[in-house]
Amino acid sequence: MRALRALRALSALPAMPALVVAGWLASACGPKIGPNGVTSDDAIVYVKSNVRDAQVYVDGRFIAPLSVLGGGVAVEPGVHRFELRHEDYFSSYLELQLARAEHKKVAMEMAAILP
C-alpha cells in the first residue's frame, strides 16, 4: 500500500510545474482584485447627503448606511441607479454613467416628510 502511494506521488510531480504555471497565468490576466473585492477597473462613487443615516441602495440592492461609507461605493463601469432611503425623508434617486476606474463625488439631498 505504501509503495502504491509513493508511486502515485511521484507520478504527480511532472504535472505540478504545469499546474503552477497555469495558475500563475490565470491570476495575471484581468484586473487586480484588492482584499476588499474592489478591482482596479471599478468606479468609485462618494455620496454626500444632508441625512447621514440614510440607507444606500445601488441598482435596487442595499449596500450600507451612508455613515459607514467613508471610502465610497465601488461599482463596475456602466449605468447605475443610486438611491438614498430613510423613513422620515422622501427617497432620493440618481442615475450615473460611470467609466472604468472613474472616481465621482455626488451630493444627494433628501426632503423631510411633513407630519
Residue 16 pLDDT greater than 90, yes or no: no
pLDDT in tens, 49-101: 999 999 999 999 999 999 999 889 999 999 999 999 999 999 999 999 999 99
DSSP 3-state helix, strand, coil percentages of the chain (rounded to 5)? 25, 40, 35
Stronger pLDDT, 64 or 20, i.e. the higher one:
64
Cβ atoms of 76 and 41 closer than 8 Å: yes
Q: Distance (Å, rounded) from C-alpha 30 to C-alpha 13?
A: 29
Q: What is the pLDDT of residue 7?
A: 42
Q: Which domains does the chain have, with CATH numbers?
A: 43-107 (2.60.40)
DSSP sequence for 68-101: G-TT-EEE-SEEEEEEEEETTEEEEEEEEEE-TT
* pLDDT category of residue 29 using cuts at 50, 70 and 90: low
* Average pLDDT over the chain, rounded to an integer: 81
Stronger pLDDT, 78 or 10, i.e. the higher one:
78
Stronger pLDDT, 30 or 4, i.e. the higher one:
30
Q: What is the pLDDT of residue 86?
A: 98
Once rounded to an integer, what is the mean pLDDT over residues 39-57? 96
Please give the grid coordinates belonging to residue 61: 440592492
